[in-house]
Amino acid sequence: MALHDPNKPIPISDLNEPDLYLNRELSLLEFHKRVLHQSTRVETPLLERLRFLTISTSILDEFFEVRAAGLKEQISLGLSNTGPDGMGPSETLARCREVILGLVESQYSHLHGILDRELPEQGIVLYRRQNFSKAQAEWADRYFREEVLPVLTPIGLDPAHPFPRILNKSLNFIVALEGKDAFGRKGRYAVVQAPRVLPRVIRMPDEIADVANGFVLLSSLMHRHVEKLFPGMKVTECHQFRATRNSNLWIHEDEVQDFLHALKGELPQRHFGSAVRLEVSMTCPDEMVDYLLDQFELKETDLYRVDGPVNLHRLEEIYDLVDRPDLKYTPFIPGIPSKLAGRGGMFDTLRKTDVFLHHPYQGFGPVLDLLHEAAEDPHVMAIKITIYRTGLDSPITKALIAAARAGKEVTCIVELRARFDEAANIELASRLQEAGAKVVYGVVGFKAHAKMILVVRKEANELKRYVHLGTGNYNVSTAKAYTDFGLMTSDPEIGEDVHSLFQQLTGVSRTGHLKRLIQTPFDLHKWLVEMIHTETENARKGKDAWIVAKMNSLVERGVIHALYRASQAGVRVNLVVRGICCLKPGVPGVSENIHVRSIVGRFLEHHRLFSFAAGGRPQTYCSSADWMPRNFFRRVEIAFPVRGKKQRSRVMEEGIQVMLEDNCAAWEMSAEGSYTLCTPGNATPFEAQEELLKSLCQQYG
Interatomic CA distance for residues 147 and 85, integer angstroms: 53
Domain 333-516 in this protein, CATH class: alpha beta
pLDDT given for residue 421 in this prediction = 56
169 Rama class: left (phi>0) / alpha (psi -120 to 50) / beta: left
| Strand order, beta sheet including 189-193 | 155-156, 189-193, 172-178, 234-245, 275-281, 303-306
pLDDT given for residue 79 in this prediction = 80
CB 377 within 8 A of CB 347: yes
Which phi and psi (to 5°) does residue 286 adopt? Answer: -60, -40
pLDDT given for residue 461 in this prediction = 86
Which phi and psi (to 5°) does residue 459 adopt? Answer: -135, 120
Q: 127: number of CA atoms within 13 Å, CB side?
A: 26
Q: What is the pLDDT of residues 267-293, one digit of tens each?
A: 455 455 799 999 999 999 999 999 999
In this structure, the strands spanning 201-203 and 189-193 are unpaired
User: Are 24-327 and 333-516 the same fold in CATH?
Assistant: no
CB 459 within 8 A of CB 379: yes
Report residue 22 CA to chain centroid gap. Answer: 21
> What residues does each domain of the chain span?
24-327, 333-516, 520-700
CB 49 within 8 A of CB 38: yes
Element (H or E) spanning 519, and its range? strand 518-520
Query: Burial, 501: exposed, middle or buried (Cβ in 10 Å; 0-12, 13-18, 19+)?
Result: buried
584 Rama class: left (phi>0) / alpha (psi -120 to 50) / beta: beta
CB 96 within 8 A of CB 69: no
Interatomic CA distance for residues 145 and 184, integer angstroms: 27
Asked if the peptide bond before residue 360 counts as cis, ω within 30 degrees of 0, the response is yes
Architecture of domain 24-327: 2-Layer Sandwich (3.30)
pLDDT given for residue 599 in this prediction = 97
CB 125 within 8 A of CB 215: yes
Q: Give the single-character DSSP code of 63.
A: I
Which phi and psi (to 5°) does residue 590 adopt? Answer: -125, -55
Q: 499: number of CA atoms within 13 Å, CB side?
A: 15
Architecture of domain 520-700: 2-Layer Sandwich (3.30)
Rounded to the nearest 10 degrees, what angle do helices 69-76 and 89-113 cross at?
Answer: 150
Q: Give the single-character DSSP code of 55.
A: H
Q: Which residues are part of the catalytic machinery? A: 449
Q: What is the DSSP string of 434-492?
A: HTT-EEE--BTTBEE--EEEEEEEEETTEEEEEEEEESS-S-TTGGGTEEEEEEEE--H
Those residues whose C-beta lies under 8 Å from the C-beta of residue 332, and which sit 6 or more positions away, are 693, 697, 699, 700, 701
Closest CA to 223 of 174, 257, 295, 188: 174
CB 275 within 8 A of CB 244: yes
- For the chain, which ranges sit under pLDDT 50? 1-7, 249-267, 270
pLDDT given for residue 392 in this prediction = 66
CB 332 within 8 A of CB 693: yes
Element (H or E) spanning 295, and its range? helix 286-296
Q: What is the CA radius of gyration of the chain?
A: 28
Interatomic CA distance for residues 630 and 447, integer angstroms: 9
Torsion of Cα atoms, 203 then 205 then 209 then 214, to 10°: 20
pLDDT given for residue 427 in this prediction = 77
Q: What is the DSSP string of 611-630?
A: EE-GGGS-EEEEES--BSHH
Interatomic CA distance for residues 311 and 144, integer angstroms: 20
pTM: 0.91
Q: 584: number of CA atoms within 13 Å, CB side?
A: 19
pLDDT given for residue 270 in this prediction = 47
Element (H or E) spanning 667, and its range? strand 666-669
Q: Give the single-character DSSP code of 117.
A: I
Q: What is the pLDDT of residues 111-170, one digit of tens each?
A: 999 999 999 999 999 999 999 999 999 999 999 999 999 999 999 887 667 899 899 999
Interatomic CA distance for residues 192 and 155, integer angstroms: 6
